[in-house]
Homo-oligomer: A and B are copies of this chain.
């Protein structure tokens, strides 16, 4: 599958590498086409890896992954271009963390909604799925690095888009019973508001290499 990844931070490059290794074609998008980090990433990976602007990447991708910082995601997606995103599945893995008031950060959700819903409202014909934002990048792409089963969530209003998301999660090593559909995109509120607990856990465990498993009665 052709996958656009918007954002060249740890999450973007880690996901991009994993998708290339899983056999997908990835274009890593950034603000400018001559982003050195992105170019180096593509050189290191070789076949299957390319770079470009947000718009280049979005035009290329059948699926688009928003791995930009949550506070600049709408701006980055606007730069990618609504026409390049139209009708595509958008995996929103970002977190709107506002550290301007120090630690712990505030979750910058607009009007009581989620960033994912704001993205959906801004680009109504994009099929937004919130997923993978509840763990660190290394766990996203290597779920078997933890010693037992754990959970990844998908939220979105388009059932087919959530199926595409689940298939892509499967290509990263997630087992079907680890993927939990938490409902419509309104559930992205809870996925984003989970981050403060995640940050507390990271602090108390002294490591980001953890995740939660939903245990059912």
Contacts and interface: CB of A to CB of B under 8 A. Distances in A.
Contacts of A181: 204
Contacts of A194: 190, 193-194, 197
A200 B155 contact: yes
Interface in A144-161: 145-151, 153, 155
Contacts of A200: 155, 182-183, 187, 190-191
User: Which interface class (under 10, 10 to 19, 20 to 34, 35 or more) fits A?
Assistant: 35 or more
Interface string A136-179: 00010000011111110101000000000000000000000000
A106 interface: yes
B201 A209 contact: no
10 contacts: A150-B215, A153-B197, A182-B204, A183-B203, A183-B204, A194-B197, A205-B216, A207-B216, A209-B217, A210-B217
Interface of A: 101, 104, 106-107, 112, 139, 145-151, 153, 155, 180-183, 186-187, 189-191, 193-201, 203-205, 207, 209-217
